[in-house]
Amino acid sequence: MIDLRSDTVTRPSAAMRRAMAEAPVGDDVFGDDPTVNRLQEKVAELLGKEAAIYVPSGSMGNQTSIRAQTQPGDEIIAHADSHIYHYEAGAPGAISGCSLRLLPGEGGLFDAAAVRAAVRPSDSHYPRSALVVVENTHNRGGGTCWSIDEIAAIHGVAEEFGLKMHLDGARLMNACVAKNHKPTEYAKYFDTVSICFSKGLGAPVGSAVASTKDTIRRVHRFRKMFGGGMRQAGIIAAAALYALENNVARLAEDHANANRLATGIANIPKLSVNVASVETNIVYFDVDPSYDPAKTLCDAAKEEGVWILSTGPQRIRAVTHLDVSTKDMDQAIATLDRIIRKR
């Protein structure tokens, strides 16, 4: 099966499994797991922050960051297609008591002018604008990368109005590889940064949050409150360390495979894709309504060994990762072409 549903479907390599098996461990709730501590130190250094904390998931990383920097009744400014809005089960409202001020923008991006216009007046009738969330790369936007210049401009507006900034960096390393930026070049504009190890980096589980020591102490408390305290977590932290040390540069291969896949899909009747918009490892394409719903094509493709994901009546997502090859891309293209032309 060529599984293109997500880059979360990867399996640990033999070398990663060895690193996990051999990892020294302790009790991380007591703060004495040496592998977790080493991972946290590495992430803090990577992102140019004072401290970092290991958390079980990207959603927990985002939500502990939100809870640490807001109060109930506050408002968060984010894109209308952001992960924290669509895929985190209403957590900003349920856990932090915050509402969301959602901005439009192509590819999951918005600009400083939109943030300025979204900031609430200082009036007791309104929620307090407290936090701006940027997602880089942007999942529903198609793996789009943010411009550092635009982030800097948004940061200027945030500073002017006393807003905090959080970077949902689940696929931050994809953006860094695609745009040839160091992680610190993005991270320096944000008060908190989350990074995920279980997507393109290929670890089986885990994310981290980096910030100041004071903020990480608050994140640590909310990690415990949300049920994220783990014991001998070094076993899985070792996989994250291995991923950071071995699987970053190779993300360029995933980006090339995504471009190859999109280029092939563009030549298949009844399918349409914007090849130029494919910056990283996520490809969205559309099925002409004259064919059938997207799910019908996904079901037929799965029967022939290609697993893709319908995200709307006529829309499909395919994501490349370290467990698929250039040969797999060619086979996926041929499979989709054959299915379409059989009709």
Provide CATH code, domain 14-246.
3.40.640.10
**pLDDT beyond 80 at 226:** yes
Element (H, E) at 210: strand 207-211
CATH number of 250-342: 3.90.1150.10
- Measured CA to CA, the distance from residue 273 to residue 295 in angstroms comes to 17
Which residue do the tokens 């807001």 mark? 70
pLDDT exceeds cutoff 80 at 87:
yes
Q: What is the mean pLDDT of residues 87-114?
A: 98
The amino acid occupying position 157 is V
Domain ranges in the chain are: 14-246, 250-342
pLDDT at position 6, please? 97
Average pLDDT score, the chain: 97
Over residues 132-160, the mean pLDDT reads 98
Cβ atoms of 100 and 85 closer than 8 Å:
yes
pLDDT in tens, 263-320: 999 999 999 999 999 999 999 999 999 999 999 999 999 999 999 999 999 999 999 9
For residue 22, what are the CA distances in angstroms to 16, 204, 224, 237, 278?
Answer: 10, 16, 27, 12, 38
309: CB partners within 8 A, 6+ apart: 4, 5, 6, 298, 316, 317, 318
The owner of tokens 């399918």 is 271
Which pLDDT belongs to residue 343? 75
Whether 3 has a pLDDT exceeding 90, the answer reads yes
Closest CA to 142 of 315, 10, 269: 315
Q: Is the dihedral of CA 41, 46, 49, 55 positive or negative?
A: negative
Strand duo 74-79 + 207-211: pairing:
unpaired
Which one, of 17, 6, 2, 1, lies nearest residue 203 by Cα? 17
User: 270: left (phi > 0), else alpha (psi -120 to 50), else beta?
Assistant: left
Residue 188: band (very low, low, confident or very high) from pLDDT cuts 50, 70, 90:
very high
Residues 155 and 324: their CA atoms lie apart, in Å, by 37
Q: What is the pLDDT of residue 293?
A: 95
User: If pLDDT is split at 50, 70 and 90, which confidence band does 16 have?
Assistant: very high
User: What pLDDT digit, counting tens, does each position of 229-239 carry?
Assistant: 999 999 999 99
Helices and strands (H and E) in the chain: how many: 14, 13
